[in-house]
Amino acid sequence: MKAFAALFTAIDQSTKTTVKTAALAEYFRTAPDDDRLWTVALFSGRRPKRAVTTTQLREWAAERAGLPLWLLEESYPIVGDLAETIALILPPNEHTSDRPLSAWLGDLLNYPSLDIEARKVRILDAWNRLDATERFLFNKLITGGFRIGVSRKLMTRALAQATGQDEAAMALRLMGDWTPQTTTWQRLVAAPEPEEDDSRPYPFYLAYQLESAPQTLGPAQDWLAEWKWDGIRGQLILRGGAHHVWSRGEELMSDRFPELAAATDFLPEGLVFDGEIVAWDGRQPLPFNTLQQRIGRKSVPKKLLRDAPVVMLAYDLLEDGQDLRDTPLHARRARLETLLAGLPPEANIRPSPRIPFETWEDLAQTRNMARDHRAEGVMLKRLDAPYLAGRKKGDWWKWKLDPLCVDAVMIYAQQGHGRRANLFTDFTFAAWNGNELVPFTKAYSGLTDAEFAKITAWVRRNTLQRFGPVRQVKPELVFEIAFEGIQPSPRHKSGLSLRFPRMARWRHDKPAQEANTLDDLREMLALYG
């Protein structure tokens, strides 16, 4: 754990990517195999599940520190991180430990088999053997919230440097359904030929938002355009007589979308498709909230299969008996369209249609109709581009529609976390329903730190009531709320929910009485829901 804590300190004390990469690479060269494997797992999102509740941790920490629980609760919003708050209030450790990271994580994996009192004894003993930085990391691991500002891409680059391997090949090795319990450092990283895994996906290629006019990209005939669908990005893998469905977040979702198994009845083995999984009405995608009902489920009941059937709209072919990622897009796309041509609807996979256009002006007019197609905008892909890994500028761009906007009144405020722990940044907004303000969304991003500081000062002067960390404020401030979609929601008093809401600007020029109404939002729902 000491070596891992030293790595964290080196990463935390620098904002330079080169410094972080060098620290990680040195760790990967020198740490024991089991610790290296766990570090790769942690930085690629394979964290242990939460071993105890945060309520239990707070109570045990306050008891160990000899402090009233209310004082810890008051300190937490100021520090902005529970793991750090606990590490700060605990008394100095009475003992030390040289146990490696893998041993501590092995203990955490066994916690669910212990009763609560046994877990408490283990955690108190750990706090007594770890220094402040080690405790902070241990607390992060206990709560299942381990994130310390290192991207997967940066970790992969450092790992490639430490092992002398190609970065793209390393990124592919780290994909798939592995954990430190199911593999070893040798098999995953060090072996020249890793075990073949029929379910292994490819690293996803990600697009940047187009910020300038598309004319800056060069001749229109060099580009393919298609709709940017509002679904779940995924890869459908047909290998070994089975199908596997992976999300962009590297989550295996085959059981959630059993309809896609039908592709094995109509297509040969050795294919990997990249595309969008959407709920489908037989003609076009259904609203995203229809699909959203299936996202968090491990199994899908018959009613949902009937009410929210899915298809994959495939827009790339990554494998056809061999890796096609270095093949130009125009060739990959032609092969994809040949494979999927004439498949019956029950195959549940179809090519995402190209958008025909001759000039950028033509495409701009078509893009304005994206919401009619239940899309968020268009995607632009250079026809001669390979399929790369991660987010790269140049060949793939998303040209989204301008967001929908309404003006709303702030009625509740809550402090943020981390570096914004001393500022009010999380707000609840309301629209008018007659003479009543009805809350309809929350937002916490879109403004500058300077604006948040001014709002914080205003909130402290204009608080009406407190409900724990939440303050009810005078209904005076108006903000323009931007969002990507609107849908009905029986769980909310307004009957509505917004997709990706954020604050576009603070409307100093508008009094609260001129904010939008629920009727305005319902009209938007009728048009765009």
Q: Residues with catalytic annotation?
A: 228
* Closest C-alpha to 31, from 139, 149, 163: 163
C-alpha 290/C-alpha 302 separation (Å) is 15
**Does residue 372 sit in helix, strand or coil?**
helix
Helix (H, G, I), strand (E, B) or coil at 52: coil
Q: Which residues contact 71 (CB under 8 A, 6 or more apart)?
A: 62
91 Rama class: left (phi>0) / alpha (psi -120 to 50) / beta: beta
What gap in Å lies between CA 100 and CA 3, rounded to an integer? 8
- Give, as one character, the DSSP assignment of residue 301: -
Q: Are strands 208-209 and 205-206 parallel, antiparallel or unpaired?
A: unpaired
Which residues on neighbouring strands pair with residue 396, listed in sequence order?
381
Which residue in 352, 389, 417 sits closest to 152, CA to CA? 389
Q: What is the sign of the dihedral through the CA atoms of 194, 196, 199 and 204?
A: positive
Determine the 3-state secondary structure of 380 from DSSP. Answer: strand
C-alpha 61 chain-centroid distance: 30
Sequential DSSP letters for 481-509: EEESEEEE-TTSTTSEEEES-EEEEE-TT
Q: Does residue 312 contact residue 348 with C-beta atoms inside 8 Å?
A: yes
Q: Which residues pair with 223 in a beta bridge?
A: 382
Residues pairing with 398 in the sheet: 209, 379
As a whole number of angstroms, the distance between CA 351 and CA 333 comes to 9
